[in-house]
Amino acid sequence: MCVDDLQALLNPVELQVDTLRDPLYQQREVEVKLLRLDQIDNGISGNKWYKLQHYLLTAKQQGYQQVLSFGGIWSNHIHALACAGARFGLKTVGIIRGEPESASNAMLTDARRWGMRLQFVSRLEYRQRHEPNYLQSLQRQWPHALLVPEGGAGVLAMPGLAGLVTQIQAQQLRPDYLITACGTGGTLAGLVAVAPASWRVLGVAALKGAGFLYDDIQALLAQAGAIPQAHWCIDLEGHQRGYARTTPELLAFMSAFEQRHAILLEQVYTGKMLLRLHQLIENSTFAPGSRILALHSGGLQGRRGLDPAALATL
């Protein structure tokens, strides 16, 4: 796509859906399908395709020269934003939690190659990313930039995710359960805002101690004026010892999953979500006959952040 094709982001894309055939799922009499958002685009990966749409359109329509956002040194959001900026002619700035030495890692090398300016900050400063005074100081520093929340978790992400729900319905999938990994909560909020009452929406938190996400999501829904119809909740037990951490159990599951289904996973979000789903099915959480639709939210670039020894096991 070129700059003039930015509006094309809103056009429905063909969504690939794979049925996951596993003896456990057959034994528990549940149907599990995987919505392959990882197949949409190599650069603007997975759920970021939907979350970034209206931020990019707003930036172009309102004459912003730059788009600025926040992330860690392996942030899928930062990676996708840098790619989108290069593709659609928008300058990008990344406020990165970490040390400048990290600029040479694979993810930030991509971002710099796509023209993103990186500004490294301490963990202490990064914690201020939601504070009005800090955001005002950044706006003064970058007066021509549209500020995008970490992970794209803001009101402007929600129309794009509503479009994803519309596409799911158009494909006549009719899940009883819609399941997604949950980082900042933006994707979960966008899905919950418009999901029909017949769905149950479950977010699997990638962070340890992520109970605060309930308040964050409620606040985002209120800001958007959304009144959810579907029941939703967050599973707080699938984090595998914490954000961006791996365990032998997680790596073993990913290896077995990839061999069985020939579908690549990453260790921060989708791998944890599918492992937790497998555990819930094993524990007979879902009634026989349940139709489960899980979102593969992309982010496969993050596999490069695995220790080479761990990566060799996959």
Q: What is the pLDDT of residue 3?
A: 41
CATH number of 3-43+155-311: 3.40.50.1100
Amino acid at site 311: L
pLDDT at 269: 97
91: number of Cβ within 10 Å: 18
Q: Higher model confidence: residue 110 or residue 311?
A: 110
pLDDT digits over 202-231, tens only? 999 999 999 999 999 999 999 999 999 999
CA-CA distance, 15 to 194, in Å (whole number)? 19
Nearest alpha-carbon partner for 143 in 135, 131, 154: 135
Q: Give the pLDDT band (50/70/90) at residue 244.
A: confident
Task: Judge whether residue 276 has pLDDT over 80.
Answer: yes
The predicted pLDDT at position 2 comes to: 40
Q: Which residue has the tokens 């982001």?
A: 9
Q: Is 1 helix (H, G, I), strand (E, B) or coil?
A: coil
Confidence class of residue 311 from pLDDT cuts 50, 70 and 90? low
Classify 164 as helix, strand or coil.
Answer: helix
254: which 2 tokens? 């990913």
Q: Which fold has domain 48-152?
A: Rossmann fold (3.40.50)
In one-letter notation, the amino acid at residue 8 is: A
* DSSP type of residue 15: P
- For the chain, where do the domains classified as CATH 3.40.50.1100 start and end? 3-43+155-311, 48-152
What does the angle CA 87 – CA 90 – CA 92 come to, to the nearest 5 degrees?
A: 105
CB-hemisphere CA count at 13 Å for 22?
Answer: 25
* 53-61 and 158-170 helices, crossing angle to 10°: 130
**Residue range 181-202: average pLDDT?**
97
Whether the per-residue pLDDT at 159 is higher than 70: the answer is yes
Q: Provide the pLDDT confidence category of residue 308 given band limits of 50, 70 and 90.
A: low
CB 239 within 8 A of CB 206: yes
Question: The pTM is what?
Answer: 0.94
What is the average pLDDT across 232-236? Answer: 98
Average pLDDT score over the chain: 94
pLDDT at 47: 96
Q: CA 6 to CA 53: how far, in whole Å?
A: 8
Q: Which two tokens stand for residue 164?
A: 């994803």
Q: Rounded to whole angstroms, how far apart are CA atoms 201 and 187?
A: 11
pLDDT at 312 over 80: no
CB 192 within 8 A of CB 201: yes
